[in-house]
Amino acid sequence: MVDRLVLVLLSSLFLAATMAAVTNDKERICIIGSGNWGSAISTVVGRNALRLPFCHNEVRMWVFEEQVLLKGEKETSNLSDAINSLHENVKYLPGVKIPSNVRAIPDLADAVRNATVLIFVLPHQFLPKLLPTIRANVNPARCYGISLIKGLDFDTNTKLPVLISKTIEKEMGNNFRCGVLMGANVADEVANQQTCESTLACEFGSDDINERIRQIFDEEHFRVSRIHDVCGAELSGALKNIIALGAGFVDGLNLGGNTKAALCRIGLIEMRKFCSMFFEGVEQSTFLESCGVADLITTCYGGRNRKCAEAFAKRRVDEMNSTLDAESCSELWNIIESELLNGQKLQGTLAAKEVYNLLKARNLLHEFPLMNVIYEISFDGKSMLDITDGIKTHSESAEVHYLSKL
C-alpha cells in the first residue's frame, strides 16, 4: 500500500515537472510600442498566440502612457486603460478591435519581464533610453528580437550607417540576436485583414526557432516568408521612406503616373547601390521580396511619408513659395506632421537627413542624384519642380555598369 502511494506520488511529481517544462518552453511575447503599426501587428500576433501551442496566450504590449478623451466622457483616461477595457487603441488605430489577450502595460520593466520574444516597433530614436531596462528584465540568452523599425543608426565615430537590429544586439549583449520583419505593410490595411505579404529576415541559429518566429506573424491574410538577409531587408525598409518623400512631391505637383513610376525605378536603383556600397553580403534577390520592391511601391502610393510629402508640396505651391530657407522648411514639416499624423513621427525626413550627411561627407552626392534632390527640396528650400532632376540626371549606363559588377 505504501509502495503504491509512493509510486502515485512520484508519478504525479513527474507529470507536474513535465507540464512545467512544457509551460516554461512556451514563448512569452512582448510588443514594444503601441502606435499605429504596433497596434496593427498586435492584432496578428494576438490571434496567433491563441492558436499556436508553443506560445503563451497573453501578449504584452508596452504603451507609452498618454491621456485620451474617450467618446462621451468628460475626463481623460490613460491610454493603456482604454486599450485594456475597450480592446481598441482609440488614438492610433481607432475602429479596429485588438484581441482581448493583448494586454497594454505602461511600465516597461513589467511589460518585458521574462519575455522570450521581443517585437520592437517604435521610432528608433527612443531605443537608447529603453534598452537598458529591457536588458535588465529578460534573459538575452533565451530571448529573440524582431525589429519592425524602419530607420538607420550611425556610428558616432566613423559616421557610417549601422543597422538598428545590430544596435539592439550590441546593447542587449550575451549573444542576443535580432531579426527584422519588413514588407509592403500599410498598418491600417493589415489591421483590417486585407491580404498582404511580409518578409522575415532572421538567423536565430536553429531552423526550429526560425520557423517558430515566422509562425508568430504568419496567418491567412498576412503571409510571411523567411530569408537570411537581415541587412538587405532592413536597409530597404529604411531607404524606401526617402524615396516615398519624392513620390509625395510628384503627387503634390500632379506630375502623373509616368513620372512617379520613373521615380520609383530610379529610387530602387539608388537603394540597391547604397546597400552594396556601405554593407557587405547584401543579396540582390532581397530586392525582389516583399521587403524590397513591394514595400517601395506601397510606400510610394500610400503611407505617412508620401502623404506628408504631398501636403508639403501642395502647401509650398499654394503659398507661391518657389524657395524656402532651411528653418522654414523644417518648421513646415513639423506643422504637417502635427496636423496629419496624430502624434506619430515621420521616418523619411530623418532618414533623408542622415543619408544626405553621410553622402556629403564622403563626396558621394553625385552618385545618388534622386536622394540628393529629395533632401534639397525638403530642407534646403530648392524648387519643388526640381524633383524631376533626380530622374533626368541619372546616368543609366553608369548604374548598369555598377550593378553588373555586384
Give the other-Cβ count within 10 Å of 294's Cβ: 22
382 belongs to the catalytic site: no
| Amino acid letter for position 25 | D
| E-strand stretches of 94-183 | 102-105, 117-120, 144-147, 153-154, 161-162, 177-182
* Distance of alpha carbon 203 from alpha carbon 38, whole angstroms: 23
- pLDDT for 163 equals 96
213 vs 17, 145, 208, 350, CA distance in Å?
26, 10, 9, 30
Residues of the chain with pLDDT under 70: 1-24, 319-323, 395-406
- pLDDT for 140 equals 85
The one catalytic residue in 91, 240, 273, 314 is 240
**Exposed, middle or buried, 344 (CB in 10 Å: 0-12/13-18/19+)?**
middle
**Exposed, middle or buried, 400 (CB in 10 Å: 0-12/13-18/19+)?**
exposed
- pLDDT for 12 equals 40
Q: Are 383 and 323 in contact (CB under 8 A)?
A: yes
pTM, full prediction: 0.88
Looking up cell 536622394, which residue turns up? Answer: 371
- pLDDT for 58 equals 98
Q: Are 193 and 221 in contact (CB under 8 A)?
A: yes
**Exposed, middle or buried, 50 (CB in 10 Å: 0-12/13-18/19+)?**
middle
* Distance of alpha carbon 352 from alpha carbon 127, whole angstroms: 20
The three-class DSSP label of residue 171 is: helix
Q: Are 178 and 146 in contact (CB under 8 A)?
A: yes
- pLDDT for 73 equals 86
- pLDDT for 49 equals 98
- pLDDT for 21 equals 38
* Distance of alpha carbon 77 from alpha carbon 73, whole angstroms: 9
* Distance of alpha carbon 268 from alpha carbon 33, whole angstroms: 29
| Amino acid letter for position 254 | N
- pLDDT for 18 equals 33
- pLDDT for 270 equals 96
Looking up cell 534573459, which residue turns up? Answer: 139
Paired residues of 77 in beta bridges: 68
Phi and psi angles of residue 324, each rounded to the nearest 5 degrees, phi first: -135, 155
- pLDDT for 296 equals 97
Q: Are 150 and 61 in contact (CB under 8 A)?
A: no
397 vs 277, 393, 402, 403, CA distance in Å?
18, 12, 9, 10
First-to-final CA distance of the chain: 77
